[in-house]
Amino acid sequence: MRLNRLLFLFIACILIGCGASTQEEVENAIVTAHQYLSSKKCSEALQVLDGVGQQMSNPDWVSAYASAQACQADWNVVRFFETDLDLLNTSDESAVIGSLSVFSQANMDSPLSPSYTGLRNGITTLLSAGNVSPISYQARAISLGTSAANRLAVQTLYMQLTQLGKFARYFGNASTTGVKGQGSGSNECYLSYTDADAQAIISAGLGTCDDPGVDTGHPDLNGDRTRLCEGIVLFNNFLDIVANISLDPTGNNGDIGDLDELSTDLAAACATLSGPPTNYDFGGTCTVKTQSICENNVGGNYTMAHLERYYAAFWEALHQ
């Protein structure tokens, strides 16, 4: 009889999975993780969340996990509101990126720096909530519901603003006042442009980057498809979020509420540049929000020429 009971338990474990995480265990892990995060114990928070397995359909788990990854980047939400957010300048389209580059938390000394990779990982976790593929706000809203998608979108937006600042300061060689090409590096542009259409866009005059035959790009970005796609996917997901959520500009969100106009204007700019008289071909770069799609050049829509044109038309044009 005892043998039969043991055999029954063994079969049950195979069929339903012994030790499977219960909802209570998941909730306890989330609470514990937040306790660790309050003491800046980032690794401990990740460990306890990993202990219940991936819960990408649970918005609270996703939020906590992304916070732990951002913690590893030493990103501080209190500092974001108290110090950085007031520096956001939405007075003009070309002022936004430069203003983000002067955020106190926009510092990084390498693309491999934990301050950059940790925040990137946190943003990716939030964008992938609900296990959506390809990534988009609408896909997350369908998978998780609008309320949960909005909560995660707001958290993502705050991290994205800092990450955009990191990207602009480092790869755009921004000065202490946010001017592109005037920092401690030697590059005047994000890229050294080889595509004729990208060079034509640059020749129109984009701040310090106006002579494609002379002006150079950042050595850590030139020709690096992965990093080029990171900048495109980061920016497109940022625009996707500001186009789909509403933030009260009268609260503690500063000028964030004005960013929805930026999303609308840039969508129109891509359509305009793609039509006569220039007819520039951007492939799928204006809308791609999934790193793997961009990086793997799916459908031949993300060639290096396409990537260069995107950087010339958006990163260069919006950061002067």
pLDDT at 253: 55
Cβ–Cβ under 8 Å, residues 65 and 124: no
Half-sphere exposure of 204 (CA within 13 A, CB side): 11
Q: What torsion do the CA atoms of 46, 52, 56, 57 make, to the nearest 10 degrees?
A: -140
For residues 53 and 213, which has the higher predicted lDDT (pLDDT)? 53
At residue 118, does pLDDT exceed 70?
Answer: yes
Cβ–Cβ under 8 Å, residues 129 and 139: no
Q: What is the pLDDT of residues 60-112, one digit of tens each?
A: 999 999 999 999 999 999 999 999 999 999 888 888 999 999 999 999 999 99
pLDDT at 255: 65
Would you list the domain boundaries of the chain? Answer: 54-74+93-318
Q: Which residues contact 64 (CB under 8 A, 6 or more apart)?
A: 30, 33, 34, 37, 45, 49
Nearest to 229 by CA among 141, 290, 172: 290
At residue 6, does pLDDT exceed 60?
Answer: no
d(C-alpha 123, C-alpha 67), whole Å = 9
- CA 134 from chain centre, in angstroms, equals 15
Q: Which residues contact 11 (CB under 8 A, 6 or more apart)?
A: none
pLDDT at 58: 97
pLDDT at 16: 42
Number of H helices and E strands in the chain, helices first, is 15, 0
Mean model confidence pLDDT for the chain: 90
Q: What is the pLDDT of residues 228-274, one digit of tens each?
A: 999 999 999 999 999 999 876 555 555 676 787 777 778 888 889 99
For range 28-33, the mean pLDDT = 96
Nearest to 29 by CA among 57, 69, 65: 65
pLDDT at 21: 55
At residue 158, does pLDDT exceed 70?
Answer: yes
Cβ–Cβ under 8 Å, residues 193 and 212: yes
d(C-alpha 68, C-alpha 240), whole Å = 24
Identify the bridge partners of residue 206 per DSSP, sorted by sequence position.
209
Q: What is the pLDDT of residues 125-138, one digit of tens each?
A: 999 999 999 999 99
d(C-alpha 192, C-alpha 140), whole Å = 36
For residues 4 and 307, which has the higher predicted lDDT (pLDDT)? 307
